[in-house]
């Protein structure tokens, strides 16, 4: 909950800067930053648990931050980046994660 309160405070400060003409803050920017932070936190949480699938969230979070502040891409390109980042993560998960086989017939 503290992270969400810090997010709200930072959005409030950015909105005030927008009112005074220092920075241009739009609703799309706020939503983009929110989802970038959300995917980044969830990806880091999964990586710290030992699941390489979290790398997809981290990659997509980095992509969103770059898209928000540098690039201007279409919605279709954003969806393709989402799919590509999770394909990379699933591939890494399958390649490096050791799998345990369950034998249901043993006690």
Per-residue confidence (pLDDT) for residue 67, from 0 to 100: 79
Q: In this prediction, what percent of the chain has a pLDDT beyond 70?
A: 81
Spatial CB neighbours of 67, under 8 Å, sequence gap ≥ 6: 32, 73, 78, 81
Asked, for residue 70, whether it belongs to a domain, the answer is yes
Asked whether the predicted pLDDT for residue 31 surpasses 60, the reply is yes
Q: Is residue 61 part of a domain?
A: yes
Q: Residue 29 sits in which domain range?
A: 16-96
pLDDT of 58 over the 70 cut: yes
Residue 32 in domain: yes
- The answer, yes or no, to whether residue 43 has pLDDT greater than 80, is yes
Q: Is residue 69 part of a domain?
A: yes
Give the separation between CA 6 and CA 101, rounded to whole angstroms: 43
In a domain, residue 10? The reply is no
The helix/strand/coil state of 74 is: coil
Residue 84 has which token pair? 């590509």
SS3 97: coil
- Whether pLDDT at 44 is above 80: yes
27 in any annotated domain? yes
Question: 86 lies in a domain?
Answer: yes
Q: Exposed, middle or buried, 76 (CB in 10 Å: 0-12/13-18/19+)?
A: exposed
pTM over 0.75: no
Rounded Cα distance, 97 and 55, in Å: 13
pLDDT at 35 over 70: yes
38 in any annotated domain: yes
pLDDT reported for residue 104:
64
Domain tally for the chain? Answer: 1
The pLDDT tens digits of the residues spanning 72-106 come to: 666 677 777 777 777 777 777 777 776 666 666 66
- Confidence at 7, pLDDT banded by 50, 70, 90: confident
């Amino acid at each position: 909950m503290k992270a969400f309160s810090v997010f709200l405070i930072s959005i409030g400060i950015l909105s005030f800067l927008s009112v005074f003409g220092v920075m241009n803050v739009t609703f799309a920017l706020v939503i983009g930053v929110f989802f970038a932070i959300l995917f980044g936190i969830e990806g880091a949480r999964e990586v710290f648990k030992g699941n390489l699938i979290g790398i997809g969230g981290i990659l997509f979070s980095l992509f969103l931050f770059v898209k928000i502040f540098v690039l201007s891409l279409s919605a279709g390109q954003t969806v393709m980046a989402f799919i590509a980042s999770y394909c990379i993560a699933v591939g890494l998960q399958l390649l490096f994660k050791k799998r345990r086989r369950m034998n249901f017939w043993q006690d």
